[in-house]
Amino acid sequence: MRKMFVAAMCRVLPRNALKKKPASRMLGATGNFSNQATFDIKKCELHRLEKGPPVKAVLTREEGLQYYRTMQVIRRMELKADQLYKQKFIRGFCHLCDGQEACCVGLEAGIQPTDHVITSYRAHGLCYTRGLSVRSILTELTGRRGGCAKGKGGSMHMYGKYFYGGNGIVGSQGPMGAGIALACKYKGNKEISLTLYGDGAANQGQIAEAFNMASLWKLPCVFICENNLYGMGTATTRAAASTEYYKRGHVIPGLRVDGMDVLCVREATKFAADHCRSGKGPIVMELQTYRYHGHSMSDPGVSYRSREEIQSVRNKRDPIMQLSDRIVTGQLASVEELKEIDGDVRKEIEDAAQFAITDLEPPLEEIAHHLYKDNPPFEVRGANQWIKYKSIS
């Protein structure tokens, strides 16, 4: 768990000590590049708020490289998952978040590793930013024993420290996230809960229930609607009477954020986190984002939207492209450096994928393990009365 912790901190917080750079790179850093640059970010639309997040963001060289690398890892990991799915190494449900990288990376950059995050089934990106390794994620997807849930969970059920999945039932994570916030408030530890849901889940009754109780009891919960414009194949305009998701908390203040800009997401998250930590109660953040893939691997994603639309987002608003453009124009790093990171990332993903397809499946003898915690061992019935499995906690 501690390793995951450190890994999470590594993802988005610059940690010089943990990244060894060759001497020439260091010289290059001080010689040709700035240490930081300031960028204009889009103003957030506000609901029941006097002031919003700042409209300028400072990006340090280290942050820039870190965010870039993390987003590339997520992008490549998701594309690798696509490939593995088509090769039938991954089965069942596989919901990819490529296109939405700025959301997970920006969110993580705005909170502490000891804050709490819960999300839906489109979770792989957050699994990574919360500290699970690419290897453990891909190996869980291929259903092998080295997976983060030992092969028992699959795509939608990956857990980590301060990360409560991965939830398959649409919207169920809404009240759960409010409950996590309740625990934070009860313990008085100044931690907050980020509770993510999609534009589809936003119309669920239990989300409204979660809003109500979080507001009533002033729970430190940041409700985050990842609006990628489509709930499965249904466009938001066909699903919601009001598509202003940041206003849907009614009495709860809200912000509408450009979810394709990692800096915008980061600043908004910091703002929202402060709001909650200061005891003001919950807040709603709508991240306007886009997914390149369909809803899941069973959905080509082009029967309800045009290829032109998808291509247009890729060309004009791709989150990784936006960041790399800023890094280069802000003179924080060179194109070559970024390319080197790309190569490094490609290798990391390849290695992880290789492990994921060669690792052994979970042992059959463990099929009944982990039913109960802290329980003495007991017997579990198999497909017929003569097949018995042992269950160990």
Partner 1 sequence: MGFAGIAVGAAMAGLRPICEFMTFNFSMQAIDQVINSAAKTYYMSGGLQNVPIVFRGPNGASAGVAAQHSQCFAAWYGHCPGLKVVSPWNAEDAKGLIKSAIRDNNPVVMLENELMYGVAFEFPQEAQSKDFLIPIGKAKIERQGTHITVVAHSRPVGHCVEAAAVLAKEGIECEVINMRTIRPMDIETIEASVMKTNHLVTVEGGWPQFGVGAEICARIMEGPAFNFLDAPAVRVTGTDVPMPYAKILEDNCVPQVKDIIFAIKKTLNI
Contacting residues toward partner 1, per CB under 8 A: 116, 118, 147-153, 157-160, 164-165, 167-169, 172, 174-184, 186-187, 193, 205-206, 208-210, 212-213, 369-375, 378, 380, 385, 393
- Residue type, position 68, single letter: Y
Strands 221-227 and 193-198: parallel
Measured from the CB atom, the residue of 70 and 204 that comes closer to partner 1 is: 204
Measured from the CB atom, the residue of 159 and 355 that comes closer to partner 1 is: 159
Minimum distance of partner 1 from residue 292's CB (angstroms): 28
Minimum distance of partner 1 from residue 258's CB (angstroms): 29
Which 3-state string (H, E, C) describes 226-289? EECCEECCEEHHHHCCCCCHHHCCCCCCEEEEECCCHHHHHHHHHHHHHHHHCCCCCEEEEEEC
Written as six digits, the tokens of 14 are 């610059």
Minimum distance of partner 1 from residue 339's CB (angstroms): 37
Note the maximum CA span of the chain. 73
Measured from the CB atom, the residue of 247 and 369 that comes closer to partner 1 is: 369
DSSP label at residue 116: E
Written as six digits, the tokens of 96 are 């990819």
Minimum distance of partner 1 from residue 337's CB (angstroms): 37
Measured from the CB atom, the residue of 29 and 158 that comes closer to partner 1 is: 158
Measured from the CB atom, the residue of 23 and 387 that comes closer to partner 1 is: 387
* Nearest CA among 170, 162, 179 for reference residue 115: 162
Measured from the CB atom, the residue of 145 and 270 that comes closer to partner 1 is: 145
- Alpha carbon separation from 343 to 17, 347, 360 (Å, rounded): 22, 6, 28
